[in-house]
Structure 1
Amino acid sequence: MPSGPRRAKQVVESSQAKRERGQPPESQRRHSSARRERRAKAFPTPMDLVAAWRTLALGDADRHADALVLAATRALRGGRPAEAFEFIDRRCRIARPPRAVDLAIRALASALCGFPAEAERDLARAESADPLDPMVAMTRLRLGADAPTLRRLAGDIANGGRPVAPSLLQAVLKQFVAVANEDGAPRALAGLDVLDGRLSGFAAWPAGLPVALEIGAADGTERFPLRHDPALAFAPDGFDACRLDARLEIVPESYRLLAEDGAVLADGRIWPRRSRLPATAARRRAPERVPPRASVTVVVPVYRGFEATRDCFAALFAEAERHADLRIVAVDDASPEPAVAGLLDAHAANGRIALRRNGTNLGFAGAVGRGLEGERGRDILLLNADAVLPAGAVARLAAAVYSAPAIGTATPFSNNGEYASLPRHAAASPAPTPEAAVRIDAAAARIGGGTVVDLPTGTGFCLFVRHDCMAAVGGLPLVYGRGYFEDMEFCLGARRAGFRNVCATSVYVVHRGSESFGAAKRGLAVRNLAILRQRFPGIEAECAAYAEADPLASARAALIAAAGDAFPPEPPPEAPAPLADPPPGSRARPPTLGVLVPDPAPALDAFLARLSAALRLVAPAARIVVIGRAADDLALMGRGNVFVTGPLAEGEHRSVALRYGVRALLVPPLPAPDPSLPVLTFACPERVGAPFPDIPAHAVDPAAAHAIAAEFARRIEAPAPG
């Protein structure tokens, strides 16, 4: 065995080699073993990512996203909401946009961790994205709901077009009974649908009470005595229930559940639907040459919203002065507002519009059908009564559909136009002032020229349809009742006939949105989304892929730049939650060292791997959370004590650090992101403190990784102040 200087040299070399591998010298390891044992007992162990890698395929890039969902649900069932939150939060961050079920799971985990505001925000997004998802409904029940919400939820389930587990409907009814008993609301509940004159759905009411269902219409009523069906599994104790299936002789408008003494137990509106496509379709195909131009008819269905309707027609009349052959057809769809009906009567009396009036509300597609009567062979502009055309819009929209043989429809840019929205991508923004709208449209006309960009479907708030496309498709489908998604199906029908749907980037139209539907918007979207899914199974995935690819990005950016400050300022981002004491869910987390990563870099991954090894030696119960993205997320997470959150929104690092239980934060050499989070400083800041993307592999001193780990271990071992 060597001795003297040779032995000393080997000891020095051994210590140096261990430092390079992120390990402390032997002397430090001996003295720290007792401390490590104390720490391991004092703190819970980090979630076992290595085991999850093996059992749940988290390390498989193709299956990683689904494995995160499975890991989250297992953690919830195991009573570990903080762990569940992290798995599902990463799933939501790496999937854009996140699925409704993922948002619902994150909402539940957030609530259990003590983040009620974040839970409600996620659940609202989930209900907007897919209110028919059973997990979304169950999460709403878990987080609590009042009687109106439960009524809405029951209707969603009944009319959603999906098989629903009896346990879910029973849970809705049980909670409804409890809430109704507290606030004295009527205890009956119904979910009804009418398709092609056939009534379906369910009703539930207090047990032993004789009840009848009354269907109301403009020309009379129909009444059906209801009898409890004991075979129904969803009726809770103390409730009778039945399924409904009956042929109606009237066109229904409303319903009431009536007790024997005439007391109204529940009531609501009914929007009948028809599944048959219009018989006017000629089943033509898109032509090989651009057809001759046709005259234009503007069809405006009107229901409510006096001021918006007034502004819409004022702009239309200005357009009519530029086009002698422009014809305006207004359809009063049984407006409940006398001021709206009077406005239309006045315009019809002076010959400025052709007015058609429905005795009952037919919905958007039915009203458009009335407006199209007698307009065959003309180009059609479908226009919502809450949209305002700029000067020259009709000519520019016509130029778009006649710019290529196969273009069938054109949709303009708008503040609220689905894919064609701006300044926000595929999201509604506040309507600009009239003066600002003029500036934006002028910029669009100036820079857009004749540019068109293909869309998967157009949007019915302002949809210019070429005459041969209208003849080929045959009008809007009536299956969607009062409205929502009939414009999508029309455009999908155009595609089947070989036509293209495009955005006319040279036009900007202001759209207020939901003037007619109001609070009923969500219920309409719920029911009709199920119909669209059934009729076009792959359309959601296609539309999500289009939104992700964003072919309109360059045209949108150019218009935003050209319009300058004409767009209304976006509302300020919501302030993050205050960094107070960690909620109960976060206390179950292991000691966490956060590393803020503004931009991923391979050199940073290498340094984090060394830091992971060093931390495992001095604080085996601790872990690293990378706040942001790494160059190779899965490689780092496979180490077992590293978790990578995924992409961050701007300014989100503070709230993410709180939710992941970060005890100290390692940041780039910038102002501290939050003074209430301790920021580690080290003896060699020029090595670990340089901007992350610029760190070359040879510039990261392994000793720095050990210094960081040792300092963090010291901090978590020290007693808390106070």
Structure 2
Amino acid sequence: MAFLAEPAGWLVHNPLRSDRSFDDCQELERLGVRAYENGDLRRALVLIDRIRRIGVARADLLCLKADILARLGFAGAAAETLDLALELDPENIHTNSRLLLWSEDTTTRVRAAEQLIRLCPDQDRTLAPALKALKQAGSKIVAAGQIVADEFVGWVTWDGADSISLKICDGHSDETLAVRSERAPDWAEIFIHYGRIHFPLHAARRPLHLSIEFDDISLCKVSSYPTEQQRSIAGPRSSDSVIDADLTVIVPIYNDFEATRDCLDSLRPQLAVAKRTVAVLVNDASPDEQIQQLLHQCAEEPIFTVMHNELNLGFAATVNRALSIVPRGDVLVLNADTVLPAGALDELAIAGRSSPDIGTVTPLSNNGEYTSFPEPFQVNELRTSEAIADIDRAAKVNRDVLVDLPNGIGFCLYVTRRCLDSVGGMPHLYDRGYYEDVEFCLRARENGLRNVCAPWIYVGHAGSRSFGGEKRSLVMRNLKKLKDRFPAYNNESVAFAKSDPLRESRGKIEKELLRTIRFDRLLMAPDDLAGEIATRRAQDLVQQGLAILTCIISASARSATIRSPRDGYQSLQFNLDSAGEIDTLVAYISDLDIARFEFCGSSRLMLDVIQRLNMFDKPSDVFIADEASAELRTWIEGPSKSSRHADRKISRAAGSPPAGSGRYIAPNDEARALLAQKRIRSDRIDTEPDLKVVTQFSVSFSESPTVRCGVVLNEHCPSTFKSFVEVMRRLSGVQNLQFFVLGSTLEDNCLMTLGNVFVLGPTSADEIAALTDIYRLQRLLIYLPQPIFGWSKLQQACRLGLPTARFVWPFTPRVPPGDLRLDTAMPPAVLADRLSSWLVGAGREASDVA
């Protein structure tokens, strides 16, 4: 990667000029693909990998990254990257092609081959290796095809007799098709026989689901959908009774007996007391005998109307069949894997009828995408019925609040009659179960109606168990179709996620729920690197079984964010613009059941909070994350014992903290040495064991004399960044030096335009060792002009055993031979000169070895 060897060298030939940005993912992709095509794999790797770190991961780019890693000899990393690509899009052709070629697992290869044959039924180069893999796995017959106009066109290849009889099922009738062996194309010679399939379809039947079977084994399934949605809802069948109610709950049911039973158990008592409210349960041809028996019992209850589909129709058609017998009143479309808290039906009706422009209402849920609680867009744990009721009660703090959504979510979708009359039924344009609800809601918006969330209602939702592992494939397939039909939807959804208008409502619920929990410890830290250290420490303590609360103080935003890692609570914020608002935060914390405080790092605003907390005489510890943490001793021992080196601002603060049994937690020997220098008694210090070197990299020099140096620096500190930029600027004139920042910076572009630095982007501590190997890093620069302790990324970097340049202090333990000691008093010019001499020396070693 010579493009980093001289000042702005790789920028000379147009890649990213001043009008473009290293944060421009399209430009990075263009450059990365060009480098790949030119055989410059390492340049391609850093560019493509940066896209993943700063942008949205895409399966095709992950697949390209995997290909590059494999060519560079990193088979394990390539396999892990392919797994990520497959998780994002199980139907990605490039990913499945590589899995077919690379994987040694038979099951994985068979799954990839089946996907490729289904996705590419007419691509010769893809079919041959896929058929070979299936035959090696024991397959005797394979078929594939697609619907073209009003005809199924496909092929079948098999071993055995020279003719076979296939059964064609279209959901309405079964027909038999005889296929005789004919001359096979080259790609089909894996099996003995080959035959083409042509089968005319009924043009009026859409959606159409076609299955090709042999000996009751399904060989191939394809579907065809109408190009546009029929808006009107069909009328009832002659055998169906029409429902007259103000609210009708429609529950499509397929499988998962236990979830269905729990859903109906939560629904039954509400139907029993609600006025003019009934439920329609639609059995979508469930194969589960327990479900059939359960529905038979429900049919005897007057609050339930039970319908049966002769064939499995899927979500949209099943809902529409129920809608056909509901000509008036509002409707609640309810998944059979939901659990309703008491009163949910009445509350949803109140929300839906609160304004004439409301089309749909969605409650909060543990699994509700936009409306997920506590973590949005995550599948949170499904709690017990009692816990669901507790959250729902806490949610009443948001009563009468409505938050507009891009679209409602179909697990529990309250639909007003005005919306039904305007939009019609659910669209039949998508494969079963995903995005029909989204299109319905987007159509409602086009007609001037709103989709809202009622954040005072919380409904439990198991989610996706009916379709198991097929979910991601169905989601991606339907999402592509939705994007074609509504091009602006994706950007709008992303904008909603970024603005997060439901955060305040979630925070209010968390504020109530946190009062019911006993916490072993509250960790308080500023929102700088000390806050990052405290957050990681909280996660470690939770893994040890402790109940931990964190309070991160932002001086720039003048706010505090309270989180409970174990419970996933993360949305509660307090403004700290005034002394009164600080008092409000302190009063809330004092009202919680917290056994102990722990402080990590320091800021003026954080000290204001600590000062007020001291009046509650709570046992308090200090985690030594930096030198400022050690100065918090005043707040544990009292000012009479404070160090003469303590921050004057701390010493002058009003009020005296109680002298107590607080402890100092030193995450390594260097932190312990700092405390010893400040005359902290050893019996007051709890020391965590140092992480020892476990990976000693033996640097293998290539013919290139270029020295590749990894960099770890404080991503939050402006003064550190300014100093580092100046040092890198002075080093940019030195040939054959490349620096890779293992993380982000305050301004990546500013650094990378120097030409000798590449910023990888957000990087976790767990990636450090692998990145060192992949980028062939030979040396390490830890650019931390202020001492930092307990930072996981720093700990992992130090474990590598690479020759390292680092700042040292009087309390720093002995530096290993070959490492470079840096002094914080050195100006940038001296630092650059020392680093240059040290790194160029490594380059000379490389030349000698070569």
TM-score bracket for the superposition, by shorter chain length: 0.7 to 0.9
Q: Is the 8 A contact 1:302 1:330 kept in 2?
A: yes
1:12 match? none
2:49 match? 89
C-alpha separation between the residues in 2 aligned to 1:550 and 1:230?
60
Instruction: Deviation per CA, 1:148-177: give whole Å up to 9, x if none.
Output: 23212332456xxxxxxx6xx334312212
1:554 match? 504
Which of 201, 206, 212 aligns to 1:256? It is 212
1:484 corresponds to 2:469: no
Task: List aligned pairs for 1:304-323, cutoff 5 A.
Answer: 304-323=255-274
Instruction: Deviation per CA, 1:267-311: give whole Å up to 9, x if none.
Output: 2555564555345269xxxxxxxxxxx821110000000000000
Q: Is the 8 A contact 1:152 1:523 kept in 2?
A: no
Higher mean C-alpha displacement, 594-603 vs 639-648: 594-603
1:98 corresponds to 2:54: no
Q: Is the 8 A contact 1:232 1:241 kept in 2?
A: no
Unaligned runs of 5+ in 2: 235-244, 518-563, 569-692, 812-823
2:454 match? 504
2:362 match? 411
What secondary structure, in the 3-state scheme, does the structure 1 residue paired with 2:742 have? Answer: strand
1:216 match? 169
1:646 match? 761
1:53 corresponds to 2:11: yes
Q: Is the 8 A contact 2:132 2:190 kept in 1?
A: no
Q: Is the 8 A contact 1:275 1:478 kept in 2?
A: no
Letter in 2 for 1:277: Q
C-alpha separation between the residues in 2 aligned to 1:500 and 1:232?
55
Letter in 2 for 1:100: A
Q: Is the 8 A contact 1:211 1:257 kept in 2?
A: no
> Per the alignment, do residues 219 and 397 of structure 1 end up closer, same or farther by CA in structure 2, a change over 3 Å counting?
closer
Letter in 2 for 1:462: C
Instruction: Deviation per CA, 1:80-138: give whole Å up to 9, x if none.
Output: 4443221111111221x323332322333344445555544543443454455554454
2:805 match? 680
Task: List aligned pairs for 1:225-304, cutoff 5 A.
Answer: 225=178, 246-248=200-202, 255-256=211-212, 258=214, 267-269=219-221, 273-275=225-227, 277-280=229-232, 295-304=246-255
Letter in 2 for 1:149: A
1:288 match? none
> Per the alignment, do residues 142 and 590 of structure 1 end up closer, same or farther by CA in structure 2, a change over 3 Å counting?
farther
What secondary structure, in the 3-state scheme, does the structure 2 residue paired with 1:344 have? Answer: helix
C-alpha separation between the residues in 2 aligned to 1:416 and 1:589?
54
Unaligned runs of 5+ in 1: 1-42, 159-165, 283-293, 572-576, 687-696
Instruction: Deviation per CA, 1:37-78: give whole Å up to 9, x if none.
Output: xxxxxx988578945424353234368322221232233334
Q: Is the 8 A contact 2:3 2:9 kept in 1?
A: no
Instruction: Deviation per CA, 1:10-29: give whole Å up to 9, x if none.
Output: xxxxxxxxxxxxxxxxxxxx
> Per the alignment, do residues 219 and 409 of structure 1 end up closer, same or farther by CA in structure 2, a change over 3 Å counting?
closer
1:75 corresponds to 2:28: no
What secondary structure, in the 3-state scheme, does the structure 2 residue paired with 1:354 have? Answer: strand
1:707 corresponds to 2:850: no
1:184 match? 138
C-alpha separation between the residues in 1 aligned to 2:512 and 2:718?
38
Which of 127, 139, 160 aligns to 1:173? It is 127
Which of 112, 116, 127 aligns to 1:153? It is 116
Higher mean C-alpha displacement, 328-337 vs 677-686: 677-686
What secondary structure, in the 3-state scheme, does the structure 2 residue paired with 1:514 have? Answer: coil
> Per the alignment, do residues 630 and 148 of structure 1 end up closer, same or farther by CA in structure 2, a change over 3 Å counting?
closer
C-alpha separation between the residues in 2 aligned to 1:100 and 1:111?
16
C-alpha separation between the residues in 1 aligned to 2:305 and 2:701?
64
> Per the alignment, do residues 579 and 630 of structure 1 end up closer, same or farther by CA in structure 2, a change over 3 Å counting?
same
C-alpha separation between the residues in 1 aligned to 2:153 and 2:6?
47
Instruction: Deviation per CA, 1:409-451: give whole Å up to 9, x if none.
Output: 1111122111212333312223223332222222212x22222
C-alpha separation between the residues in 1 aligned to 2:567 and 2:367?
14
C-alpha separation between the residues in 1 aligned to 2:512 and 2:221?
46
Which of 446, 455, 462 aligns to 2:412? It is 462
CA offset at residue 631 of structure 1? 3.2
1:374 match? 325
CA offset at residue 186 of structure 1? 3.3
Q: Is the 8 A contact 2:212 2:221 kept in 1?
A: no
Q: Is the 8 A contact 1:194 1:271 kept in 2?
A: no
C-alpha separation between the residues in 1 aligned to 2:399 and 2:412?
19
| Percent of residue pairs identical | 30
C-alpha separation between the residues in 2 aligned to 1:317 and 1:219?
35
> Per the alignment, do residues 518 and 67 of structure 1 end up closer, same or farther by CA in structure 2, a change over 3 Å counting?
same
1:670 match? 788
Letter in 2 for 1:331: V
CA offset at residue 681 of structure 1? 2.7
> Per the alignment, do residues 277 and 51 of structure 1 end up closer, same or farther by CA in structure 2, a change over 3 Å counting?
same
> Per the alignment, do residues 653 and 201 of structure 1 end up closer, same or farther by CA in structure 2, a change over 3 Å counting?
farther
